[in-house]
Amino acid sequence: MSRYRLQDLTSLETSPTSPGSLRAKIGDLLVNSINAAARVEMVNRETGEYKVTLQGTLDQESLTIER
């Protein structure tokens, strides 16, 4: 399993990005979390636009902090 770094969180906001790249980044985040939840905040049925918020806690044992 790859280790997740705090610096990796900012890479989630890199835009534009491919859905596949974002899926991999979010997958790594979730795999390295001890709990996680998702909230659907908005869905526009006419345009297909959506907003989802993730909230969780990173596993401190697998967390790598670069100094």
| Whether pLDDT at 64 is above 70 | no
| Whether pLDDT at 1 is above 60 | no
| Share of residues in the chain with pLDDT > 90 (%) | 51
| Confidence grade of residue 8 (pLDDT, cut at 50, 70, 90) | confident
Give the residue numbers spanning the domain of 30. 4-64
pTM for this prediction: 0.75
Instruction: Classify strands 33-43 and 4-5 as parallel, antiparallel or unpaired.
Output: unpaired
Number of domains in the chain: 1
Distance between CA atoms of 14 and 28, rounded to whole angstroms? 16
User: CB neighbours (10 Å) of residue 50?
Assistant: 11
